[in-house]
Structure 1
Amino acid sequence: MQYTGSCQCGQVAFDAEGEIESALSCNCSMCARRASLLWFVPRDKLVLRTPEAAIATYTFNKHHIQHRFCPTCGIHVFGEAADPQGNQVAAVNLRCIEGLDLSAIPVHAYDGRAL
């Protein structure tokens, strides 16, 4: 399936392809504050519809994950990193996808504070 999403102001927009079977809710210091629900897709299945230069990046802790957000409205749109096997993965914030019924998606808790 093809999905379209963006930040609040639209400066950062994307298309993502895949099946949304579940979401991940992480309780690390970053995710707990922004309350995003994450959907993981191969990075090449996330295509930016806006210029890469329109996105700001934040890293913390071990600096493995690039947290990507809009510098204008501040919305976290996705993160990107390599998974344990070395594959490039995007963690898409499902709250940024248009027309998605979040109540129909099972949410799994992840203890990011334990890391």
Structure 2
Amino acid sequence: MDAETDLHAGRCHCGAVRFDVALSDGFRSIRRCTCSYCRMRGAVVAMAEAGGIRIRQGAEVLTSYRFHTGTAEHFFCSRCGIYTHHQRRSDSTLYAVNVACLEGISPFDFPAVPVMDGVNHTNDTGQLTRRAGTLRYEPAD
């Protein structure tokens, strides 16, 4: 992992899976997606380059799921079911990491999260990725 990146420790809910991740652009890369799987999962993610995730514990309990083209591989703990990260379809050199799995980070720490149009995925349309909108969090007073 590159020392010039933003390093974080992460884990699943039950603690069986523990990992370190170097976010390639810190939290400037946060996003959500409108594809069928991401819409149901509801995670806010940040990007890490390939090799930027190191599983410290629990690699044997990680399981994965692929759908549609089978390109993106989504990883989650087989014990507690928490999604930890996935290899992206639009750029297989990047991994998207569930920010809720990172120590001291909550998806509610971000007042505005860009939402990307995964329904009309760039690999399907040949067009640049379109921003579908913004998810906003406004804490109660």
Q: TM-score range by the shorter chain?
A: 0.7 to 0.9
1:38 matched to 2:45? The reply is: yes
Name the stretch that deviates more: 99-108 or 13-22. Answer: 99-108
- Kept after mapping to 1: 8 A contact 2:99/2:106: no
Amino acid at match of 1:113: V
Structure 1, 72-81 or 45-54: larger mean CA deviation: 45-54
Spell out the pairing of 1:1-115 with structure 2 (5 A cutoff).
Answer: 1-18=6-23, 19-81=26-88, 83-84=90-91, 88-102=93-107, 103-104=109-110, 106-115=112-121
Task: Assess, with a 3 A threshold, how the Cα gap between structure 1 residues 94 and 105 changes in structure 2: closer, same or farther.
Answer: farther
Q: Secondary structure at the match of 1:53?
A: helix
Matched-pair identity in %: 27
Query: What's the CA shift for 1:100?
Result: 1.4
Q: Deviations over 1:4-26 (max 9, x none)?
A: 11110011111111322131110
Q: Which residue of 1 aligns with 2:136?
A: none
1:14/1:49 CA distance change after superposition, 3 Å: same
Q: Pairwise CA RMSD of aligned residues?
A: 1.8
Greater radius of gyration (CA):
2
The structure with higher relative contact order (CA 8 Å, sep 6+) is 1
Which of structure 1's runs of 4+ aligned residues deviate more than 6 A?
none
Shift in Å, 1:50: 1.3
Aligned pair count?
113
The runs of 5 or more residues in structure 1 that have no matched partner are: none
**Shift in Å, 1:114:** 1.8
